[in-house]
Amino acid sequence: MDKTSLPPLLFNGADQPESSSISRRSLFVAAGAAGISAAASVMMPDRAQAQSTDWTQPGNNNHVLALQETKDFASGPVKFEYFGHCALKITSPGGASILFDPWRDDPSGAWGLWFRQKFPEAVVDITMSTHTHFDHDAIDRPVSTMVLDRMAGQFGFADLKITGFADKHACLAPGWYKWTDALKEFGAEACPPNNVGHMDMVTYLVETGGVRTLIWGDNRPDPAPGFWESVGRVDVLTLPVDGSQHILSYDQGNAIVEKLKPKIVIPTHYLSETTTYTLSTLQPADEWVKSQKSFKMLDSPTLTLAAADIAGRDREFNYFGSHALTA
Ligand SMILES: [Fe+2]
Ligand SMILES: [Fe+2]
């Protein structure tokens, strides 16, 4: 097998019912693990397949229509609800909601069982994903009127403004588990500029209720030149740092916090006993949180922040710990 050649594959959905949930990463892993010749046996280039099952979802767009018709939105706090891992729902003061990075297990099985259940069928107006890795891209699971997958540029709706900054995934695992070496073993490049496509990333800045929230995703610690200036002020920052230092190390996370000086830091991408299995190789983020000057161990999966209330805070870590919404 030529490990440097991993062409895209087409699956016959009629024979492979699970194909609707196969991600770009899974295709890569499946091709690498099973071999191109085996994978080629399911190539059906003459069959078009509907990949999305969103048409089966309950509900409709009545809430989005109501928001669309609203002229003046109430001021008030911004609500954050944590679904474990990097899945965070933000609800604007006017009631518009976005869910970032719903998770799932890798459908190829190559990366093992990470999650204890299927992602809840959360009802939201907008679902967004930062990148195509399985632990961020279950965009079919939320009951969502809109899906904005890997959106670069600007989007405005109701009292929300979202800016997507295209960048790259962290490509050198800083912890003991060198998961980025697996890409090398399959002949794929993890690092830019010739990285495999699933190592592309988008980070999102959400502006609502006077609060600017940066969703870091799994972005590299040293983004492209101009990134910091483009992002500007950040009030709430999510960062993927866990005890195994799977995506970012403690030092890399701390350096980003020092650079952006957010008022609030929300750790993500860590082992939560509510949602995540030990097989993920992740660890809790407690050690990192407790090493900070200012931190708060939250007692629920919900956090409400008003611009005026957080104005005086400085790099305060707000840690959801094992609290996560499961329905
Ligand atoms: Fe990732
Ligand atoms: Fe991830």
- List the chain pLDDT tens, one digit each, 327 residues: 333 333 333 333 344 444 444 444 443 443 333 333 333 333 344 555 667 888 899 999 999 999 999 999 999 999 999 999 999 999 999 999 999 999 999 998 989 999 999 999 999 999 999 999 999 999 999 999 999 999 999 999 999 999 999 999 999 999 999 999 999 998 999 999 999 999 999 999 999 999 999 999 999 999 998 999 999 999 999 999 999 999 999 999 999 999 999 999 999 999 999 999 999 999 999 999 999 999 999 999 999 999 999 999 999 999 999 999 999
State residue 48's pLDDT score.
57
Is 184 among the domain residues? Answer: yes
Phi/psi of residue 185, nearest 5 degrees:
-60, -30
Do 12 and 94 lie in one domain? The reply is: no
Distance CA(99)–CA(6), nearest Å, equals: 32
* Ligand nearest, relative to CA of residue 199: 1
Angle at 269 between CA 229 and CA 150, to 5 degrees: 55
Which range of residues forms the domain containing residue 3? Answer: 1-51
Do 6 and 90 lie in one domain? The reply is: no
Q: What is the CA(27)–ligand 2 centre distance, in A?
A: 17
State residue 54's pLDDT score.
87
Do 1 and 95 lie in one domain? The reply is: no
Q: What is the CA(293)–ligand 1 centre distance, in A?
A: 28
Q: What is the CATH number of the domain that holds 304?
A: 3.60.15.10
> Is the omega angle on the peptide bond into residue 58 within 30 degrees of 0, that is, cis?
no
Phi/psi of residue 184, nearest 5 degrees:
-60, -40
What is the residue type of 159? D
Cβ(86)–Cβ(100) below 8 Å:
yes
Do 266 and 314 lie in one domain? The reply is: yes
Cβ(54)–Cβ(119) below 8 Å:
no
Is 324 among the domain residues? Answer: no
Do 64 and 131 lie in one domain? The reply is: yes
- In this structure, are strands 295-297 and 236-240 parallel, antiparallel, or unpaired? unpaired
Q: What is the CA(7)–ligand 1 centre distance, in A?
A: 21
Measure CA 1 to chain center: 33
**Which of residues 51, 68, 93 is at a domain's end?**
51
Structural domain count of the chain: 2
- Integer-rounded Cα Rg, in Å, for the chain is 20
Do 263 and 235 lie in one domain? The reply is: yes
Is 163 among the domain residues? Answer: yes
CB under 5 Å of ion ligand 2: residues: 135, 218
Cβ(208)–Cβ(127) below 8 Å:
no
Q: What is the CA(85)–ligand 2 centre distance, in A?
A: 8
**Which of residues 28, 51, 74 is at a domain's end?**
51
Is 325 among the domain residues? Answer: no
Phi/psi of residue 288, nearest 5 degrees:
-65, -45
Do 110 and 147 lie in one domain? The reply is: yes
Q: What is the CA(314)–ligand 1 centre distance, in A?
A: 28
State residue 47's pLDDT score.
57
Is 326 among the domain residues? Answer: no
Q: What share of the chain is helix, strand, coil (3-state, %, to 5)?
A: 20, 25, 55
153-157 β-sheet, strand order: 153-157, 160-168, 200-208, 211-215, 236-240, 264-268, 316-319, 295-297
Distance CA(119)–CA(127), nearest Å, equals: 13
Q: With b meaning 16 or more CB within 10 Å and e meaning fewer, what string describes 129-140?
A: bbbbbbbbbbbb
Do 121 and 32 lie in one domain? The reply is: no
Is 125 among the domain residues? Answer: yes
Encoding tokens for residue 132? 């195509």
Longest dimension (CA), the chain: 61
Do 254 and 231 lie in one domain? The reply is: yes
* Ligand nearest, relative to CA of residue 183: 1
Is 327 among the domain residues? Answer: no
Q: What is the CA(62)–ligand 1 centre distance, in A?
A: 33
Do 44 and 181 lie in one domain? The reply is: no
**Which of residues 51, 77, 93 is at a domain's end?**
51
In terms of Cα–Cα distance, which of 21, 163, 214, 160 is closest to 102? 21
Q: What is the CA(169)–ligand 2 centre distance, in A?
A: 9
